[in-house]
Structure formats: structure tokens, C-alpha cells
Amino acid sequence: MRRREFIALFSGALTAWPLVVLAQQPTMPVVGFMNSQSPVTYGHLAAAFSRGLSQVGFIEGRNLTVEYRWAEGHYEKLPELAADLVRRQVAVLVATGGEPTSVAAKAATSTIPIIFAIGGDPIKGGFVDSLNHPSGNMTGLTQFTAPLEGKRLGLLHELVPNVAIATLINPNFLPAEEQLRDLKDAAARGGIRIISLTSSGEGDFEPAFAAMTKEGAGAVLIASDPYFNSRRERLVGLAQQYKLPAMYEFREFTAAGGLMSYGASLADGYRQVGIYAGEVLKGKKQSELPVLQPTRYELVINLKTANTLGLEIPAKLLTLADEVIE
């Protein structure tokens, strides 16, 4: 072969080589992440989800793509968001932000693996038939926040034992009827007078608080609900404005100035959901991944807020508290 022909052939091989290598590189898997709320208030939880993925070897942008979809509190948008991710043929569909997201994901696909994060009972919700060996295409995490309303009511009653307690529930939240039933049962057992109010949007918040004080409530329990969680600063501000001791579901409320919260760690839950999504990407089946449940719940008390309200926290509650914010 002549020297000039060899150089031309070698140069052509060098030009073609990167294209061959790129063609041989595997396509990165895509995870669809749905949330019923907003990245403004749930962004730190999406970051916790990413940390979970990284714990099992998946880094966004390096060997994984995540498609995020946020409903911004509009539950009616969830079915189309789920359908869009299914059309994109994601490898795993992650449904977070409560039961409505999981309902939309379940309706959208029976074949793509779904990892959910909910607050209620996944068996009653129809997502799985077994906590230990879920069949079908769904598994995930339940925070069991909705069934804790009676416990939260009892803790608030210990702080303010001689007042009527208002309860604020979102009627659009799927476990709402169960929440109200549990609260009424707990109130009957504890001899607590409750004033039941509902709110399905931020425009209802202030009228609801005005109604609480008008009806003689001396404290308020904000029932668990992803929408309420996404509006926590507004709800905490109204409780302070109306000088009502308030109980919430997650630490995020107390960190924002709320008086007390009792529930599982949201951030840790989302991290675990990320781990499960990674395990599915590695080939595990849902039946091999039991539904996760919290191993502990944390009582958080904000002493600064208590002082502002002129409340003295009983020693028993301070002893029970996992964290006291001063």
C-alpha cells in the first residue's frame, strides 16, 4: 500500500471511530418522577430522592436521566402527567406527594414498575395486596401519617387540656373520611371537644381560621395532606396570627415556626424511595421489595413559638420530644 493511501485510510478510521464508540454506548435509563406539589416546597425532598439513587450507584446526568413532573397542587393534572411519562417509556415511574399521585400512576400503566410514597394504608388504597410481597407493578413507602391523627390530637390535648380543638381537613385528600373518623373516635375516648372544619384550597384558609375562633376553638390540628404541607408557611402564619396552638404532621412545619409536629421523616422516606427506584433499575422485581414503613416517629416542639403564645410545655411532653427547637 502506498504511503499516501495508508494515511488517507488511517485518517478516515480516526474520523469514524468516535461515532462507532458513541453508537456502542448504552442509553441511560430514564426515571419518571411525579409529585402532586411544587419544587419550591418539595425540592429538598427531590434532592433526598436523588441521594437515595446515588446510594445504589445512579447519578443524574452521569448514568441516569430523571424526568420531573410537578402538579403544583392541582390534583386534576396528575393523570396527564402520568400518561406523559408512560408515553416516554420511562424505566421506573416514581409517584410521590400522596395517594392522588399513586392513583394516577396506577391508572396510567400496569406494566412499568411504580414506586410510590403515600401517607395512608397502601392495601386499603388498592395499590398492593400485601406489604411484604406486593404483586402487580407497585411497591414503595407509606409514612402512615393519616392514621396518626388520633395520636396527634392526644398530644395536643396534653398541652392544652381544657380547650376545644379545631381540626382542619382537606376533603379532596383520599383518606379524608378515615382521618375524620379517627379524630372523632380519639376525641370521644379522650373527652375532647373538636370543631371539624374543611379546606380544599388556600383561599379557604383564613375563613376557616376565623370560623375556629368564632366557634370557640383554643387550638387547631392541621390534618395530614400533601397540599397542606406545600402551604405550610401560610398555615403556620395563620395559626400565629390567630394565636392558636397548633399540631402538624411533619418537622418542616415546626421548623417554619409551627408549635408541634408528630410524624415520620419525609426526607428519609424520599431517600428510601430513591434506593428502591435504583434497585428496580438493577433488575429487582416489586415482589422482592416489601412496602417500607417508618421505624420511628418524631415529636418536635418549637419552644420559641410556645413562648410567643405564652404556653409552658409540660415536662412530660419535653421528655417525649425527639427535638426541641429553641
Question: What share of the chain has pLDDT > 70, as a percent?
Answer: 92
* Cell 386499603 belongs to residue: 124
| pLDDT at residue 16 in the model | 47
pLDDT in tens, 160-203: 999 999 999 999 888 899 899 999 999 999 999 999 999 998 99
| Secondary structure (DSSP) of 256-286 | TT-SEEEE--HHHHHHHHHHHHHHHHTT--G
- Average pLDDT of the residues in 225-246: 95
- Average pLDDT of the residues in 279-303: 94
Name the more confident of 23 and 300: 300
pLDDT in tens, 29-75: 999 999 999 999 899 999 999 999 999 999 999 999 999 999 998 99
Q: How many CB atoms lie within 10 A of CB 8?
A: 11
| pLDDT at residue 13 in the model | 44
| pLDDT at residue 23 in the model | 43
pLDDT at 257 over 90: yes
Could you give the C-alpha distances from 173 to 149, 178, 225, in angstroms and in order?
14, 10, 6
Grid coordinates standing for 14?
480516526
CATH level 2 (architecture), domain 30-144+265-288: 3-Layer(aba) Sandwich (3.40)
- Average pLDDT of the residues in 149-166: 96
pLDDT in tens, 311-324: 999 999 999 999 99
Backbone angles phi, psi at 315, to 5 degrees: -60, -35
CATH level 2 (architecture), domain 146-263+298-325: 3-Layer(aba) Sandwich (3.40)
- Average pLDDT of the residues in 226-250: 95
**Cα separation of 199 and 213, whole Å?**
16
| pLDDT at residue 14 in the model | 43
* Cell 399513586 belongs to residue: 102
| pLDDT at residue 26 in the model | 58
What's the mean per-residue pLDDT of the chain?
91
Q: How many CB atoms lie within 10 A of CB 116?
A: 29
Could you give the C-alpha distances from 171 to 83, 175, 223, in angstroms and in order?
25, 9, 11
Provide the pLDDT confidence category of residue 307 given band limits of 50, 70 and 90: very high
Could you give the C-alpha distances from 107 to 73, 86, 133, 138, 273, in angstroms and in order?
19, 11, 21, 12, 20
Is the Cα dihedral 83, 86, 90, 93 positive or negative? positive
**Cα separation of 7 and 242, whole Å?**
84
pLDDT in tens, 75-102: 999 999 999 999 999 999 999 998 999 9
Backbone angles phi, psi at 62, to 5 degrees: -100, -55
**Cα separation of 107 and 102, whole Å?**
9
| pLDDT at residue 71 in the model | 96
Contact 237, 258 (CB under 8 A): no
- Average pLDDT of the residues in 150-155: 96
pLDDT at 252 over 90: yes
| Secondary structure (DSSP) of 170-221 | -TTSTTHHHHHHHHHHHHHHHT--EEEEE-SSGGGHHHHHHHHHHTTEEEEE
Where along the chain do its domains lie? 30-144+265-288, 146-263+298-325
| pLDDT at residue 147 in the model | 79
Listed in sequence order, the residues at least 6 apart from 15 whose beta carbon sits closer than 8 Å to its beta carbon are none
Contact 300, 265 (CB under 8 A): no
| pLDDT at residue 240 in the model | 97
Name the more confident of 280 and 5: 280
Maximum alpha-carbon separation in the chain: 102
Provide the pLDDT confidence category of residue 11 given band limits of 50, 70 and 90: very low
- Average pLDDT of the residues in 147-161: 95
- Average pLDDT of the residues in 210-229: 95
pLDDT at 21 over 50: no
CA end-to-end distance (rounded Å), the chain: 84
Q: How many CB atoms lie within 10 A of CB 171?
A: 11
Contact 140, 294 (CB under 8 A): no
| Secondary structure (DSSP) of 108-131 | H-SSS-EEEEESS-TTTTTS-S-S
Grid coordinates standing for 50?
436523588
Provide the pLDDT confidence category of residue 146 given band limits of 50, 70 and 90: confident
| pLDDT at residue 181 in the model | 94
| pLDDT at residue 145 in the model | 80
